[in-house]
Protein backbone atom coordinates (compact mmCIF):
# COMPACT_ATOMS: atom_id res chain seq x y z
CA UNK A 1 0.00 0.00 0.00
CA UNK A 2 1.41 3.38 -0.89
CA UNK A 3 1.99 6.17 1.64
CA UNK A 4 -0.94 8.27 0.38
CA UNK A 5 -3.44 5.42 0.89
CA UNK A 6 -1.99 4.64 4.32
CA UNK A 7 -2.28 8.30 5.34
CA UNK A 8 -5.95 8.50 4.25
CA UNK A 9 -6.85 5.25 6.05
CA UNK A 10 -5.01 6.39 9.18
CA UNK A 11 -6.97 9.66 9.23
CA UNK A 12 -10.29 7.85 8.63
CA UNK A 13 -9.61 5.30 11.36
CA UNK A 14 -8.46 7.98 13.83
CA UNK A 15 -11.76 9.82 13.29
CA UNK A 16 -13.63 6.77 14.68
CA UNK A 17 -12.39 7.25 18.24
CA UNK A 18 -15.25 7.74 20.73
CA UNK A 19 -17.93 7.38 18.03
CA UNK A 20 -20.49 4.83 16.88
CA UNK A 21 -17.88 3.51 14.46
CA UNK A 22 -15.63 2.59 17.39
CA UNK A 23 -18.58 0.97 19.20
CA UNK A 24 -19.30 -1.18 16.13
CA UNK A 25 -15.57 -1.91 15.55
CA UNK A 26 -15.70 -0.42 12.05
CA UNK A 27 -12.29 -0.13 10.41
CA UNK A 28 -11.44 1.51 7.09
CA UNK A 29 -9.29 -0.96 5.15
CA UNK A 30 -8.88 0.21 1.55
CA UNK A 31 -9.23 3.34 -0.53
CA UNK A 32 -8.84 4.02 -4.23
CA UNK A 33 -9.41 6.85 -6.67
CA UNK A 34 -13.20 6.40 -6.51
CA UNK A 35 -13.99 4.12 -3.54
CA UNK A 36 -13.60 3.53 0.18
CA UNK A 37 -13.97 0.17 1.93
CA UNK A 38 -14.75 -0.39 5.59
CA UNK A 39 -15.13 -3.64 7.48
CA UNK A 40 -17.09 -4.62 10.55
CA UNK A 41 -16.95 -7.84 12.56
CA UNK A 42 -20.18 -9.79 12.86
CA UNK A 43 -20.38 -10.75 16.54
CA UNK A 44 -23.25 -11.09 19.03
CA UNK A 45 -22.96 -7.38 19.87
CA UNK A 46 -24.33 -6.51 16.37
CA UNK A 47 -26.83 -9.38 16.16
CA UNK A 48 -30.58 -9.10 16.26
CA UNK A 49 -32.32 -11.43 18.76
CA UNK A 50 -32.33 -14.44 16.42
CA UNK A 51 -28.52 -14.44 16.05
CA UNK A 52 -27.87 -12.78 12.67
CA UNK A 53 -26.47 -9.37 11.79
CA UNK A 54 -28.93 -6.58 12.61
CA UNK A 55 -30.04 -4.54 9.59
CA UNK A 56 -29.52 -1.33 11.54
CA UNK A 57 -25.86 -2.22 12.09
CA UNK A 58 -25.48 -2.70 8.33
CA UNK A 59 -27.07 0.67 7.68
CA UNK A 60 -24.76 2.28 10.26
CA UNK A 61 -21.78 0.68 8.49
CA UNK A 62 -22.99 1.89 5.08
CA UNK A 63 -23.60 5.46 6.26
CA UNK A 64 -20.25 5.55 8.07
CA UNK A 65 -18.32 4.43 4.99
CA UNK A 66 -20.27 6.68 2.60
CA UNK A 67 -19.85 9.72 4.82
CA UNK A 68 -16.14 9.07 5.31
CA UNK A 69 -15.78 8.73 1.54
CA UNK A 70 -17.35 12.19 1.16
CA UNK A 71 -14.64 13.67 3.36
CA UNK A 72 -11.97 11.99 1.26
CA UNK A 73 -13.34 12.93 -2.17
CA UNK A 74 -14.67 16.42 -1.34
CA UNK A 75 -12.77 19.30 0.23
CA UNK A 76 -13.43 18.59 3.92
CA UNK A 77 -11.75 21.87 4.85
CA UNK A 78 -14.45 23.78 2.96
CA UNK A 79 -17.54 21.65 3.62
CA UNK A 80 -19.47 19.87 6.35
CA UNK A 81 -20.97 16.64 5.03
CA UNK A 82 -24.25 15.22 6.31
CA UNK A 83 -26.28 12.20 5.30
CA UNK A 84 -29.78 13.21 4.22
CA UNK A 85 -31.26 9.88 3.10
CA UNK A 86 -30.28 6.23 3.20
CA UNK A 87 -32.05 3.11 1.94
CA UNK A 88 -31.05 -0.51 2.28
CA UNK A 89 -32.07 -3.79 0.74
CA UNK A 90 -30.85 -6.71 2.83
CA UNK A 91 -30.53 -9.75 0.58
CA UNK A 92 -28.71 -12.31 2.73
CA UNK A 93 -28.20 -13.04 6.43
CA UNK A 94 -24.84 -13.51 8.13
CA UNK A 95 -24.14 -14.68 11.69
CA UNK A 96 -20.34 -14.49 11.99
CA UNK A 97 -17.18 -13.31 10.28
CA UNK A 98 -16.78 -9.88 8.72
CA UNK A 99 -18.80 -7.70 6.40
CA UNK A 100 -17.23 -5.19 4.02
CA UNK A 101 -18.89 -2.01 2.76
CA UNK A 102 -17.62 -0.48 -0.47
CA UNK A 103 -18.81 3.05 -1.21
CA UNK A 104 -18.61 4.39 -4.77
CA UNK A 105 -20.14 7.49 -6.33
CA UNK A 106 -23.32 7.34 -8.36
CA UNK A 107 -23.48 11.16 -8.52
CA UNK A 108 -20.84 13.67 -7.39
CA UNK A 109 -22.50 17.07 -7.37
CA UNK A 110 -21.25 20.26 -5.75
CA UNK A 111 -24.06 20.19 -3.18
CA UNK A 112 -25.46 16.65 -3.16
CA UNK A 113 -23.79 13.31 -3.68
CA UNK A 114 -25.34 9.88 -4.18
CA UNK A 115 -23.41 6.78 -3.12
CA UNK A 116 -23.78 3.12 -3.99
CA UNK A 117 -22.68 1.02 -1.02
CA UNK A 118 -22.51 -2.73 -1.40
CA UNK A 119 -22.05 -4.84 1.72
CA UNK A 120 -20.45 -8.23 1.16
CA UNK A 121 -19.11 -11.06 3.29
CA UNK A 122 -15.61 -12.55 3.29
CA UNK A 123 -16.51 -14.69 0.25
CA UNK A 124 -17.63 -11.56 -1.66
CA UNK A 125 -21.28 -12.65 -1.44
CA UNK A 126 -23.74 -9.77 -1.48
CA UNK A 127 -25.38 -9.16 1.92
CA UNK A 128 -26.96 -5.73 1.45
CA UNK A 129 -27.25 -2.96 -1.14
CA UNK A 130 -27.50 0.58 0.18
CA UNK A 131 -27.92 3.99 -1.38
CA UNK A 132 -26.84 7.06 0.56
CA UNK A 133 -27.50 10.68 -0.33
CA UNK A 134 -25.23 13.25 1.29
CA UNK A 135 -25.15 17.01 1.27
CA UNK A 136 -22.03 19.19 1.40
CA UNK A 137 -22.67 22.45 3.24
CA UNK A 138 -20.14 25.30 3.31
CA UNK A 139 -18.34 25.65 6.64
CA UNK A 140 -19.13 28.90 8.37
Residues with catalytic annotation? 63
* Cα 38 to Cα 51: distance, rounded to the nearest angstrom: 22
* Cα 129 to Cα 46: distance, rounded to the nearest angstrom: 18
* Cα 114 to Cα 99: distance, rounded to the nearest angstrom: 22
Geometric angle at alpha carbon 42, from 38 and 48, rounded to 5°? 120
| Residue of 32, 22, 4 whose CA lies nearest to 64 | 22
Amino acid sequence: MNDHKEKILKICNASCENTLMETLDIEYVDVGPDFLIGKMPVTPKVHQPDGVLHGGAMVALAESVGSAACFIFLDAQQYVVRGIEISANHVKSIAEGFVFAKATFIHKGRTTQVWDIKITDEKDQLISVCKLTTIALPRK
